[in-house]
Amino acid sequence: MPNYAKDGEVMYHTGLTKEMIKGAKYALVPGDPGRVEGLAKALDPNAAFVASHRDFTTWTAEVNGQPILVMSTGMGGPCVTFAVEELARLGVKTFIRVGTTGSMQEDLNLGDIVINKAAVRMDGASKAYAPIEYPAAADMRVTLALEEAAGTLKIPFKTGISVSTDSFWPGQERYDSYAGYVRRAYQGSLEEYQHLGCTNFEMENATLFTLCDVMGLHAGSVCGVVAKRTDSETVAPHDVYEEAEKRFQKTVKLALKMLTGHFLVRI
């Protein structure tokens, strides 16, 4: 039986109660607390601040008259587990990761968006919930909504499989770290993932998708490309960030309208 929170019960890590989230069933979960306000207001100009505790900054917005939660998770899979566990106890059923990513395919350019249908589980947190053979797969309906939204808005996007790591540097075969060292096991991994058809590196999808599937919840992911690993290890300048952010904001807003309106244009 699900362990739902009692009335007035405060979640230890997020600082939230059922009453504070106003019955929200959908949550957008960016990593960066600084991204929450802009994302919430892009959904709804009347979005309101709720709480900020540890890594978790929370706002509420409305789409189609339904409450939508926007809450940061911090970076990496372990932080995602706190968000999913506690929001699920408060009644949230659908989680959409919204963030930034580094592409690894030539046809994914800076400012494009990536919609991930699955993730390679190079994280550690998801292994506490399911054996490594268990797939990290996004919810089909959420993924279709994100695809349909991006296509309708004529935003350049690609759907694919991300590689979720716990390390931004050696785990993603980056050599621009302090030591400049990548373990032998990870040397050549970027090229291998490219040949396998993976689209991008990021740090949260595998944990989010695995937890949500195991718990009977729904998950999706849309990220803006701010690094093109086929060209460089460096992160793009601020104007690229702004363009990517505008695009994933518009995409997720239209996708939420489709999901909360119980229709998809494609079907």
Count the residues in the chain: 267
CA dihedral 209, 99, 235, 172 (to 10 degrees): -10
| Active-site residue, selected from the candidate residues 13, 53, 54, 141 | 13
| Active-site residue, selected from the candidate residues 35, 89, 97, 174 | 174
Of the candidates 80, 70, 72, 76, the residue with the CA atom closest to the CA atom of residue 55: 72
Q: What is the torsional sign of CA 73, 5, 45, 253? A: positive
| Active-site residue, selected from the candidate residues 35, 229, 245, 247 | 229
Of the candidates 93, 146, 158, 180, the residue with the CA atom closest to the CA atom of residue 256: 146
Strands 113-122 and 218-228: antiparallel
Measured at the CA of 108, the angle between CA 119 and CA 160, to 5 degrees, comes to 25
| Active-site residue, selected from the candidate residues 86, 147, 204, 245 | 86
Task: Tell me whether residue 19 is one of the annotated catalytic residues.
Answer: no
Task: Tell me whether residue 13 is one of the annotated catalytic residues.
Answer: yes
Task: Tell me whether residue 218 is one of the annotated catalytic residues.
Answer: no
Which residues are catalytically annotated?
Answer: 13, 86, 174, 229
